[in-house]
Amino acid sequence: MRFTRLLNFTKLYRFGKPFATDATVIKPEEKDLKNCEKVNYFDIKVKENKTVLTLNLDYEDRIYGLGETLGGLNKRGKIYKLYATDDPVHSPEKESLYSSHPFVIIDKKFGFFIDYPSEIIFDIGYTKFDEMIITINSKDFDLYIFESKRALEVIREYLRLTGIPYIPPKWAFGYQQCRWSYPDAKTIKNIANNFREKGIPCDAIYMDIDYMKDYKVFTIDENKFPNFPEFVSEMKEKGFNLVPIVDPGVKIEKKYDVYEEGVENNYFCKDEKGEEFVATVWPGFTHFPDFLNPEVRKWWGEKYKLFTDLGIRGFWNDMNEPSIFFVPERLKNYLDKIYELKNKEVGLEFFMIKDKILLLSNNRDDYKSFYHVTPYGKYSNDQLHNLYGYYMAKATVEEGFEKIIPNERYLLLSRSSYSGHHRIATIWMGDNMSWWEHMLVNIRMLMSLNMAGFFYTGADIGGFGANSSPELVVRWMQLGIFSPLYRNHSALGTRNQEPWVFDENIEKILRNTIKLRYALIPYLYSEFFNSINNLKPFISPLFFHFDDKISKEVEDQFMIGNSIMATPIIQPNARGRYVHLPEAKWLYWSASNFKERNMKIYEPGDYYIKAELNEIPIFIKENSLILLNEEEINYVNEKPIKELTVIGFVTGSAEFTYFDDDGETYNFKNGKYVKINIVVKKTENGYNYEIEKDESEDFVSTVERIKFEIYDEKGNKHTQIFEI
């Protein structure tokens, strides 16, 4: 084992010869590593080809991190298997999801990151209450230990090591509508018209797999989408971004250019015999591009030109664990076994047939049977399994967008990811269900993913699988206004979830909900940038802000930026909920409509608050400010923001930094942005307001007026308007 110190308080322990995953932006050189014998904190044992790290846990230890995983926010009490898996049923006992983020925080002690691209099992106080047992399927890996007792400092250091989070375009903070599927241009146009006619704001409509010709990646079905370029511009004119899905599996079909090019140039993963590996996904029999090969990434990245040339800036890389429905050989063997039983009296064998069919999908043996050709040699997919989604994103971004649309921001969701992915793209949380329980999963994962650097992320609002009730959609859409990615998505064969499909009253509630989200965009966008600048999660648990005992246990409330605490209703038939209000006093806004203020002051404590179906409970922290744009807009970039409303509850002094830029490029890095620093101070006879603008000649703020609406301790409102 070798060792070096990095950054402010990181120690790297290198075991064996790990694969260079590209998770980190800081890459220590071999010559900097010195031999060492011992690792702090962990007891380490090598058993056969596995390495087992054991750590004693104290009764009060709270464990966080692990990015996209099920279980609590506090990860203690469960086993997590980090091995990317397409499992559409996220029930509590499941150990694997689509991504691997092996970053862990032990609050008040330290944090660590295990850079290893295949299976790692974290048994966190499950087998033994007071032990964390980590089993790494190898002897070659990097272990980074972050020696700070403060969770926020550990996260900052992790982000210094793995890179600054990705920043989507501003329109990606608007509402987004998805469905598997809106199968043709006509349907999408109708959906778009509905949004505009009904006055429900929306910025993006997704194109699921049916836009392709026979599910062939990088094709467009001309019958369903005649004159695609014209359709894209028509949508753009109405303020809609189209977001096509891109799947990695390339259909095996003679004369199909992507297939032919791939075969000709050896771009596909090969099996043991050196032949193209065949797996079945949506298009039928497919080959998988070898994204671990830089040449393949270059080839794949350029393909996005098909869309970027038309002005499309939103993408959705799916099925990249990679998901395998089945491998033809394995299915054949299975079917042969069934045929053998055809004329026999079947008893217990029935269960063999029934259960075995599920094992055909995403079978570990299949991942062991195909290979990647990397700059460091040949590896089986199993050995590098967790990198496939990340390397597909690297192809899309580093070899695609950065070359074909340099300096332009893009929305890129991926389903699978690895640590480091967060600096070039993001993920959504995969195929959840229209279950109330999944709203809590959504909230916890928002926080855990933020800790792992995925500041902009979200779940399928309303739930993907299973049918949703109107009430579930309302409550989830209300939770969604605080989700950075605000996308409603649902699966084929399930009940539709667009805002107007239930009844007029539900439509009205959903319209007001989405409008409230749009009103909040100046706050969300500013705080998102503030979070990036401070390397501090945008969505965070209460205990990052407050030190009281109860806050450490709250998993169904969260902070968005520094001023707002969300306390969403996640229970059916509830007309309110219990909330914990830590330390500070709070201004409670029971928001049913962004124009109506229904404000009340709360002292710290625990309360039951009421929230009718149309009401969204919002808490604004004492001595902090939020911003609203009260002008009605249909989509984010429809009109420049002329007036900002500042709402705050100020008993001493409060400050907020408004941020704006063109929302589409990286020019903000060269000073093309505006910041307005707003300070409100309580004085003996009212309030003192300070407004300081920091703008460059190249980017001038559109804001002409700032309206203050400040509440004092008694709940009295003080208003002021300033022309700026």
Active site members: 318, 321, 431
Separation CA 47–CA 138 (nearest Å): 9
Does residue 366 contact residue 327 with C-beta atoms inside 8 Å? Answer: yes
Shortest Cβ 178–ligand GLC spacing (Å) = 7
Q: Specify the residue, 160 or 415, whose C-beta has the smaller distance to ligand GLC.
A: 415
Per CB under 6 A, 115 contacts ligand GLC: no
CB nearer to ligand GLC: give 379 or 476. Answer: 476
> Cβ of residue 253: shortest distance to ligand GLC, in angstroms?
19
**430 near ligand GLC, judged by CB under 6 A:** yes
Using CB under 6 A as the binding criterion, the count of chain residues that bind ligand GLC stands at: 9
User: Closest residue (Cβ) to ligand GLC?
Assistant: 180
Query: What phi and psi values does residue 510 have, to the nearest 5 degrees?
Result: -70, -35
| Least separation in angstroms between CB 183 and ligand GLC | 12
Site for ligand GLC in 226-285 (CB under 6 A): 245
Residue with smaller CB distance to ligand GLC, 89 or 359? 89
Task: Check residue 573 and report its DSSP letter.
Answer: T
Phi and psi torsions of 703, nearest 5° = -75, 125
Using rule CB under 6 A, residue 321 touches ligand GLC: no
* Distance (Å, whole) CA 30 – CA 121: 28
In which residue are the tokens 């390495």 written?
Answer: 51
With tokens 């980074």, the residue in question is 144
Sole binder of ligand GLC in the list 116, 171, 173, 180 (CB under 6 A): 180
Residue 253 identity: E
Q: DSSP string spanning 485-497?
A: SEEE---TTSPP-
Residue type, 30: E
Among residues 101 and 415, whose Cβ is nearest to ligand GLC? Answer: 415
Binding mask 478-517 for ligand GLC (x = CB under 6 A): -----------x----------------------------
User: Quick one: 70 or 618, whose CB is closer to ligand GLC?
Assistant: 70
Which among 333, 324, 319 is positioned nearest to 366, based on CA atoms? 324
DSSP-derived 3-state class of residue 474: helix
Shortest distance (Å) from residue 476 CB to ligand GLC: 16
Give the residue with the Cβ less far from ligand GLC, 208 or 527. 208
Residue 318 interacting with ligand GLC (CB under 6 A)? yes
At residue 331, φ and ψ (nearest 5 deg) are: -65, -40
Cα(131)–Cα(58) distance, integer angstroms: 8
Q: Which helix H or strand E contains 155, and what residues bound it? A: helix 151-162
Structure-block tokens of residue 168: 């989507």
Q: Tell me whether residue 184 or residue 208 sits nearer to ligand GLC (CB atom).
A: 208
Does 95 bind ligand GLC (CB under 6 A)? Our answer is: no
Rounded to an integer, what distance in angstroms lies between the CA atom of residue 567 and that of residue 579?
A: 7
Q: How far is the CB of 642 from ligand GLC (least distance, A)?
A: 38
Question: CB within 8 A of 446, min separation 6: which ones?
Answer: 457, 458, 459, 483, 484, 539, 558
Residue 462 binds ligand GLC, judged by CB under 6 A? no
Q: Under a CB-based contact definition with an 8 Å cutoff, are residues 289 and 388 in contact?
A: no
- From CA 631, how far away is CA 643, in angstroms rounded? 8
Q: How far is the CB of 257 from ligand GLC (least distance, A)?
A: 22
By beta-carbon proximity to ligand GLC, the closer residue of 175 and 673 is: 175
Which of 457, 463, 459, 460 shows the shortest CA–CA distance to 436? 463
Of 707, 657, 659, the C-alpha closest to 677 is: 657
Q: State the helix-helix crossing angle for 388-396 and 294-303, rounded to 10 degrees.
A: 60
Q: Which residue lies nearer to ligand GLC by CB, 201 or 249? A: 249
Residue selected from 203, 431, 498, 622 as contacting ligand GLC according to rule CB under 6 A: 431
List binders of ligand GLC among 648-707 (CB under 6 A).
none
- Minimum distance, C-beta of residue 194 to ligand GLC, in the bound complex (Å): 20
Among residue numbers 185 through 224, which ones bind ligand GLC (CB under 6 A)?
A: 208-209
Q: Does 438 bind ligand GLC (CB under 6 A)?
A: no
297 is a site residue for ligand GLC (CB under 6 A): no
The CA-atom distances, in angstroms, between 371 and each of 98, 276, 284, 317 are 20, 10, 21, 21
Binds ligand GLC by CB under 6 A, chosen from 62, 90, 101, 415: 415
- Using CB under 6 A as the binding rule, whether residue 445 contacts ligand GLC is answered as no
In the complex, the residues that contact ligand GLC under the rule CB under 6 A are: 180, 208-209, 245, 318, 415, 430-431, 489
